[in-house]
Every structure is written in C-alpha cells, then in structure tokens.
Structure 1
Amino acid sequence: MIAAEDKKTALKEFMEKAKSGDHPESQLIAILHRAQELYGHLDQAVMDDIALTMNIPTAHIWGVATFYHYFNLKPKGKHSISVCLGTACYVKGAAQVLETVKKELKIDIGETTQDGMFTLTETRCLGTCGLAPVMMIDDKVYGALTPKKTVEIIQSFYKK
C-alpha cells in the first residue's frame, strides 16, 4: 500500500507532466484515471487538489468525474459484485439473486459493505445468457444461480 504522502506526490508529478504539454486541460481524464488508480476513488479533496494544480474549476472536474461511469466518488470494496438484470437473467430469477445479495451483505445497489469487502452494482447483460441468472464477482462469472448458491459463493470469499 502506498502512503498518503507518496500518493499525493505521485499525482502531483503526473499533473506537472500533463501541464507541460500544449493543451493541459485535455489531460483531465488521464489525470482523473491516475488519481483513482492511486486513491481508489475521487473524493472532494483529490478533486480540489487537481483543480488547484491544473487551474481548472472544481465544478468542471466534478462534471467530468460524474459524467463518466468509470469514476468512483466513494470508496469501492475489495471485490465488485455485478448482478445481471438482463431479460434472460431476469426471467430466470435475477431479482431473487439480487435480493439475496443485498440481504446477505446488508447493502443496496451502489453501496459497499462496512468491512470494505464488497461493492454491489447491477448490469443489463454480461453476455452469458445461457447460464442465467448470473452475477460477476471481479472478473469471474457465476451462473445458474439460486439464492442458496449465491450465499455460498459470497461466503466463500470470507473463507479465503
């Protein structure tokens, strides 16, 4: 894990390099990506630092950060769970899978567990309709889910 001061220094160096180009404002998305890579999310303090260093209004930075789905404004869990709510998954029980995940982890969509282990999102299609209903944890797809199987999968992450 990188110390807070080292993260700040690394981001400052990245921004200084970006400022040396012809159009430094065009580097904002790259800077936001680097900040999120370092901090895990983009909080107000980080966006304020970027605004100050790059001489870009904080409101503009906030607008870019909230426009693009990739950027996280809150800390994310160690693992990301996405439950597919596409047609095939929904018809085969995705709503029950989602409710099971929410109940088991005591969170709602877009939230992170108190222990920082999981963040829950929904998606419309993972391209694995033949395995419906499915969820993805990090980069692994879990299919043919039942509420019981869903709980077992989640609990297996706590045993690792």
Structure 2
Amino acid sequence: MTTTPSQGVGLGMPQLPAPAYPDDVRTRLETDAREIIARYPDSRSALLPMLHLVQSEEGHVTRTGQRFCAEMLDLTTAEVAAVATFYSMYRRGPSGDYQVGVCTNTLCAVMGGDAIFEALQDHLGVGNGETTDDGKVTLEHIECNAACDFAPVVMVNWEFFDNQTVASAKRLVDDLREGVQVDPTRGAPLCTFKDTARILAGFPDEREGAVEAGGSAGPASLIGLRLAKGETQPVRVVHPRGEGPRDQPSAQHTGSAEHLSSHDAPQDTSASDPSHPAGPVAEEGE
C-alpha cells in the first residue's frame, strides 16, 4: 500500500502536517539544539535533552516539537514519537505551570498518599493527569521517587515536599494557584515546569541557591548507621510545611523527644531480647 506523508498507514485518514515554529522561535531553538548536539559523539544520542528543550517552549512535546527534533537529528518523526511517548516526563498535551505529583506507591499510600491524592482531586476539581481551569496545576499520581523515609511525599516539578498531610497538601496547591512563594522541603527553589524542562535539557540552572541546595537520606534511613556508630544525638525531623512537631511517644534510644520520622522509632535488639544480646561479630581466631 502506498501512502502520502499526510496519510496514516493502514488507516486512510489524512493528517494535517505539523505547523512550523515562527522564524524567531525556530532560530533560537536551533542555536540551543546545536549546543546540545555538540555534547554527543552521535547526534541521535541528543534526543532526550532535545525533547526537554522543545517541551520548555510550549509546556509539552507538540507535533511541531517532534518534527523539529527529527529534522535537527536526522531522524524520522516516528523514531522521535516512539521516545517521546515512552517516558512519562514528556507531556503529550497542554499542562499546568506546576506538575503536582502525589506518590501512591505502597509506603506513601499507606502513610496517607492515597488520602492526599483523593482529597486533592476533590479540592481542585480535576482527575488524574488533568489541569485546573486557570492552567496553574496539573495533578497526577506518581511512582516511587526514592524518598520513602519522608512518606507521604508530594513532588512539584520534581522538587520534594516531604511528610505531607491532606491539610498541608491543600495549602500547597492553593499557594501555587495564588502565586504565593512556596519552598520545597529540600533541594533547589521551585520554578515553573517550562523552566524545569530547560534545566533538564542541560542548560544552566540560574535559580538563586540552586547550586548550594541539596538533600540527603532521612532519619529513618540513617538511624541504623547512627546506632552502629554508637551515636545517641537527636536527629533532624522534617515536618509538613507550616506545621510543628506532632504529638508522638519518645524515641527511647536517641534522646529525641519525638519519633525519628513518620515511622516508629527503632528498638535495640539487645534490649528487647536480653538473652540474645546484639554486638560485634567476633573475628575467626579471636
């Protein structure tokens, strides 16, 4: 069967060609694209950052953006589309300035993630993957982001908001919609989704404090290491944005007046079973 470029294979349905970027936009994107392509020995290796680049232009990967990537990298639009539709970080349709993702994997779910996601759907009047009428917030449930010791976790444009509650998550999205500055629990300052996409394309992150920002494993991950070292100093506890410590039982073996995280404080094996004390394993021959 012979088809024209504007016809779908096997469908017989004509498709309009993707519109072109305006000349000034095209010129600017070509300059950026050449900088990206120069980083790689094989131009097709630049496809992932190139998709972030075109996403930074319109907030999602459009057909125009796919055609631009194909032309710059000497690929077919089918090859570009196959990659653009495989990775969840590339949006296929218009989305909000702030991508609010609620982790609903097992641990976050049982710690309150499911309740947060359901509450935000009702609060914002949107479903999974949908955007508020003002174009500010797109809500979605996301897979594990390796922050289980801060569960339940909400991410905004891939920045962490830890130990959330239904109330704190509602305040967060309200502030985003009202233009109130919000600060992630850790990591770099928050920016729009388009700005995030440009950073992911490999261009300098110009946010103030972004270079110095960082994160680390949380108390629940580090407590085993601290106990092994014999440390008994209180550890830092991260609370939901705008909230103080919750009423919790004392952590018996750290000197802290509260739990080490949203999980139960650990117990010493030797204390719970005196007949089998825990201690260093003796080397053979000692």
For Structure 1 versus Structure 2, the TM-score category normalised by the shorter chain is 0.7 to 0.9
Q: Are 2:64 and 1:10 aligned?
A: no
Task: Call closer, same or farther: CA 1:118–1:5 in 2, change over 3 Å.
Answer: farther
Residue 141 of structure 1 is aligned with which of 152, 158, 161?
161
Q: 2:93 aligned with 1:65, yes or no? A: no
How many residue pairs match? The answer is 156
- 1:123 is aligned, of 129, 139, 142, to 142
Give the aligned partner of residue 99 of structure 1. Answer: 118
1:116-138 Cα shifts (integer Å, max 9, x gaps): 11111222334554554332334
Partners of 2:134 and 2:52 in 1: CA distance: 25
Report the secondary structure of 2:119's partner residue. helix
Greater RCO (Cα-Cα under 8 Å, separation 6 or more): 1
Normalized against structure 1, the TM-score is what? Answer: 0.76
Q: Secondary structure at the match of 2:130?
A: coil
Runs of 4+ in 1 over 6 A off after TM superposition: none
**Equivalents in 2 of 1:78, 1:136: separation in Å?**
13
Structure with greater proportional strand content? 1
Q: Identity of paired residues, percent?
A: 27
Instruction: Give, in whole Å, the separation in 1 of the partners of 2:32 and 2:156.
Output: 31
Mark the runs of 5 or more structure 2 residues left unpaired by the alignment.
1-20, 181-286
Match of 2:54 in 1: 35
Q: Which has the larger radius of gyration?
A: 2
C-alpha RMSD of matched pairs (Å): 2.9
Q: Once the 2 structures are TM-superposed, how far is the Cα of residue 102 of structure 1 from its aligned partner?
A: 1.0
TM-score, normalization by structure 2: 0.47
User: Contact (CA 8 Å) 2:51, 2:65: kept in 1 or not?
Assistant: no
- Report deviation, 1:14: 3.8
Bigger fraction of residues in helix: 1
Q: Deviations over 1:2-24 (max 9, x none)?
A: x95433212223445649x8633
